[in-house]
Amino acid sequence: MDATEADIYLVSRFDRTAVVGRPNIYMAVDTATQLIAGIYIGLDAGETAVMACLANAASDKVQ
């Protein structure tokens, strides 16, 4: 798992001068195959974002 802060700023859709923040990108990678297993992009950081990324990694990808 790796996390980084995106190099963009998000602005409000109602007021383009109001900066909302910079999103965090969390990515879970399978170490055996080097395939991306799960990804989370959002304004949350910390354990809630890690749990969202792991939930995405464990979810069914066939749907």
What are the structural domain ranges in the chain? 2-58
Residue 38 pLDDT: 94
Q: Rounded distance, CA 30 to CA 39, Å?
A: 12
Q: Rounded distance, CA 21 to CA 31, Å?
A: 31
Is the pTM higher than 0.85? The answer reads: no
Mean pLDDT, each 10-residue run in order, the chain (63 residues)? 93 93 95 93 92 93 82
